């Protein structure tokens, strides 16, 4: 079923939330088959897990973006003075 593919293609939180809202709305329709509603439900629960993991897994990265004399970008961890 293509619902499964959709959830795999969701690239970010925003798209995930949007799809989740669509699914909840679709589940409000009376005229859907048991099979389709179960597929929606499963996709929805997967999206919830996916979005939750996005929120939980944000690892605090503090970085400095510098440019070397050769024009190369250099990313260094920031030791931030104003912290705390």
Partner 1 sequence: MAKVWTVAELTGEIGRMLSEKSDFRNCWVCGELFNFKNHRPSGHWYFTLKDEYSSLKAVMFRTRSQNVRFLPADGMKVLVRGSLRIYERDGNIQLYAEEMQPSGLGELYLAFEQLKQRLAAEGLFAQELKKAIPRFPRRIGIVTSQTGAALRDIITVLQRRYPGLPWILAPAAVQGESAPREIAQAIDRLNKYGKADVLIVGRGGGSLEELWAFNTEEVARAIALSRIPVISAVGHETDLTIADLAADLRAPTPSAAAELAVPLLQELQAGLAQSTRDLVSKMSIQLQQKRRILAELARKSSLQNPYWHLAQARQELDILETRLQNNMTGFITDKNGILKLLAAKLDLLSPLAILGRGYSLTYDTQGKLLRSVQDVSIEDKIKVRLALGSIICQVLAKENE
**Contacting residues toward partner 1, per CB under 8 A:** 12-14, 17, 20-21, 23-24, 27-28, 30, 32, 34, 37-38, 40-41, 44-45, 48, 51-52, 55, 58-67, 73, 75, 78, 80-83
Q: How far is the CB of 3 from partner 1 (least distance, A)?
A: 13
Which element (helix H / strand E) includes 73? strand 73-77
Distance CA 74, CA 57 (A): 24
**Of the two residues 4 and 14, which places its CB atom closer to partner 1 in the complex?**
14
Spatial contact of 31 and 22, defined as CB atoms under 8 Å apart: no
Residue 25: both structure tokens together: 């709305």
**Of the two residues 8 and 81, which places its CB atom closer to partner 1 in the complex?**
81
Q: How far is the CB of 40 from partner 1 (least distance, A)?
A: 8
CB atoms within 10 A of CB 54: 14
């Amino acid at each position: 079923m293509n619902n499964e593919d959709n959830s795999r293609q969701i690239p970010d939180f925003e798209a995930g939330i949007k799809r989740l809202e669509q699914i909840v709305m679709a589940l409000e329709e009376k005229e859907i088959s048991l099979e389709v509603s179960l597929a929606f439900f499963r996709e929805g629960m997967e999206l919830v897990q996916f979005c939750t993991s996005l929120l939980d897994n944000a690892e605090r990265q503090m970085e400095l973006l510098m440019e070397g004399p050769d024009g190369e970008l250099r990313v260094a961890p920031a030791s931030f003075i104003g912290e705390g």
